[in-house]
Structure formats: C-alpha cells, structure tokens
C-alpha cells in the first residue's frame, strides 16, 4: 500500500499541472548580461553590416518591458523578426544577425522576458506574448508593413515563431533547428513525460502551425545538430507539404551545428537568399 501511494504521489508531483515551473526552469537558460556588450565580443558584429542599429524597448501582452536591437538597412525590402533559442540572450545571436543582414534584410532581435535587459521571468506562454509584442512594435512604432515581415525562429524560438504565425499575419516563416512540438521534445528528453496527457503541457506546436496556414516556409537544419535530430525538420517539412500550393523548402545544411556558427556558411546563405527571392 505504501509503495502504491509513493508511485502515485511521485506521478502527481512530476505532473505538468504541478511541476510546470520546474519544467520551465529546465527549458529556459537566460543570460542577464548586457546584450550589447556580448555582441561586441563576436568577430561577426552585425552593427558593421547595417545602416543603423537602434536599441529598442516595447511591452508584451502582460505589459512587461522588453528590450531588443533593430538593425536597419535602408535598401532592405524585408524585415526579419528573430525569436532566439533558449540559451544566452540576443547578444549571442551576432552571427545569425550578420547572416540575415548579408541576405539583404533588416533584422529585429529581441529578448524574451528574463533574458538580457528584459524584465520578468520566462515562461512558455510569456515567450509567445513577447513575440507578439515584438511584431506589434514593428508594425505600429516602426511602421513596417506586415506583408514585409518574415518571422524567424531558432531552436525554441521556432516554436515561439510558429505560435506567432497563428496570431499575426506574417508574410513568411523560417524555422531553424526546429522541433515538431514542445511535447515531442519533452517526450524524447524526459521519458516519464509520456505518462501525462499532452494537453497538460503548455505547448509550442510547430506541426499545428504549419498545418493551419499557407505562409511560405523555409525549414533549415544542420546535419551536425546534437540537440535536435534532422528527422524533426523533415517531419515539420512533410507536414507543411500537405497544404497544396504552399511555398515550402527544406534546407539540410551539411556540417551545420544547432546554432549558426559562421555567417558566411555558403549552404545557409544560399538557402536563405533563394527563399527570400521567391517571396
């Protein structure tokens, strides 16, 4: 009897309904250091590739102040809104920002709640609100036409970007080092999460997002990604192909890691430029 109670108790304590804050601690690794200082540590400084770099701030849904950097190119016809992965802060995305600037776009990098100089504490729900806040900032404060906004998600940010695409009228979506859904990643990493219904988790569902929209999609994945396997990208891509008439591309980049480490990666840049050209 004691053993049965122990097993049931353990199951209940680890349930997402009870332990979601614990799971979110395992999910988010924010770096509170100043992103601008971090940016300066990289050889690939995106500030050298744009016409102006503006430190911006905006509010998300629950009115938490967030910060970001807007790299503007006068000749750019597209603006890429980047939702970064779960580690570090926007300063660590210098290489990514440089690569996007090299492809001819303006770039908005922002930090989720609790990252860099942004206030608050990161949660799955707040990350989606943060992305919506950044999108609204672009359309209302910077007067960028939504039809010119390409949303870009890297790793965890791919899930955030997918959810954003369901809430805002984005013109195109790029998912780098993506996963099918947060519960898929949870099931694969923490085997015991199979013991709970998926509906108990706060979800970032890339599959549902690509299934329910016709937004042009580029899925980029590195062959050397040690975090998420290439099959994750293939699953998302296959799902997106079920929408007839949709522009959907899968780019498997040889030698690329989970994060972009070289802004001159030829395979990456070629895939990006080709996709943007076809929009």
Partner 1 sequence: MTDDSVNALIRDMAAIRLGTLAFNLGAIAWIALNTQFGSGGASFQPGCYLTPNIVNVVAALVLLYSGYLACLAIKKGSLIPAFLTLTFIFAMLATLMREI
Handedness of CA 232, 236, 239, 241 (dihedral sign): negative
Residue 192 CB, nearest distance to partner 1 (Å)? Answer: 5
Q: Which is nearer to partner 1, 180 or 216 (CB)?
A: 180
Q: Which is nearer to partner 1, 137 or 232 (CB)?
A: 232
Site for partner 1 in 187-246 (CB under 8 A): 187-189, 191-192, 194-195, 226, 229, 231, 235
- Interacting stretch for partner 1, rule CB under 8 A, among 80-88, 154-162, 180-188, 205-213? 180-188
Residue 92: exposure state from Cβ atoms within 10 A (0-12, 13-18, ≥19)? buried
Sheet holding 52-59, edge to edge: 52-59, 65-72, 106-110, 79-83, 149-154, 172-176, 217-222, 248-253
Q: Which is nearer to partner 1, 5 or 75 (CB)?
A: 5
Q: Which is nearer to partner 1, 185 or 217 (CB)?
A: 185
Q: Please list the alpha-helical segments (H only) found in the chain.
A: 2-13, 16-27, 35-40, 94-102, 124-140, 156-167, 182-189, 206-211, 230-240, 266-278
Residue 223 CB, nearest distance to partner 1 (Å)? Answer: 10
Q: Which is nearer to partner 1, 33 or 257 (CB)?
A: 257
* Interaction between residue 3 and partner 1 (CB under 8 A): yes
Residue with tokens 């840049």: 269
* Interaction between residue 254 and partner 1 (CB under 8 A): no
Residue 9 CB, nearest distance to partner 1 (Å)? Answer: 11
Going by C-alpha positions, the residue among 143, 150, 118 that lies closest to residue 217 is: 150
SS3 call for 173: strand
Q: Considering CB under 8 A, how many residues would be counted as binding partner 1?
A: 16
Residue 10 CB, nearest distance to partner 1 (Å)? Answer: 8
Going by C-alpha positions, the residue among 210, 258, 205, 202 that lies closest to residue 238 is: 210
* Interaction between residue 184 and partner 1 (CB under 8 A): yes
Residues that bind partner 1 (CB under 8 A): 3-4, 6-7, 184, 187-189, 191-192, 194-195, 226, 229, 231, 235
């Amino acid at each position: 009897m004691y053993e049965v109670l122990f097993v049931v108790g353990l199951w209940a304590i680890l349930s997402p309904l009870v332990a979601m804050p614990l799971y979110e601690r395992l999910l988010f690794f924010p770096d509170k250091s100043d992103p601008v200082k971090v940016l300066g540590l990289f050889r690939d400084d995106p500030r050298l590739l744009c016409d102006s770099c503006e430190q911006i701030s905006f509010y998300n849904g629950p009115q938490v102040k967030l910060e970001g950097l807007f790299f503007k190119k006068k000749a750019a016809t597209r603006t890429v809104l980047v939702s970064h992965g779960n580690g570090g802060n926007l300063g660590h995305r210098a290489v990514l920002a440089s690569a996007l600037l090299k492809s001819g776009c303006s770039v908005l990098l922002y930090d989720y709640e609790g990252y860099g100089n942004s206030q608050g504490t990161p949660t799955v729900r707040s990350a989606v609100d943060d992305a919506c806040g950044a999108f609204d900032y672009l359309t209302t404060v910077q007067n960028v036409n939504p039809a010119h906004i390409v949303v870009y998600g890297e790793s965890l940010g791919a899930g955030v970007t997918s959810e954003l695409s369901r809430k805002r009228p984005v013109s195109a979506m790029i998912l780098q080092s993506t996963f099918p859904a947060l519960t898929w990643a949870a099931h694969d990493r923490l085997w015991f999460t199979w013991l709970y219904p998926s509906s108990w988790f706060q979800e970032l569902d890339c599959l549902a997002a690509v299934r329910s929209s016709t937004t042009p999609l580029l899925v980029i994945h590195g062959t050397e990604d040690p975090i998420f396997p290439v099959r994750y990208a293939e699953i998302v891509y296959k799902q997106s192909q079920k929408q007839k008439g949709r522009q959907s591309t899968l780019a498997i980049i040889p030698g690329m890691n989970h994060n972009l480490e070289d802004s001159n990666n030829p395979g990456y840049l070629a895939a990006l430029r080709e996709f943007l050209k076809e929009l």
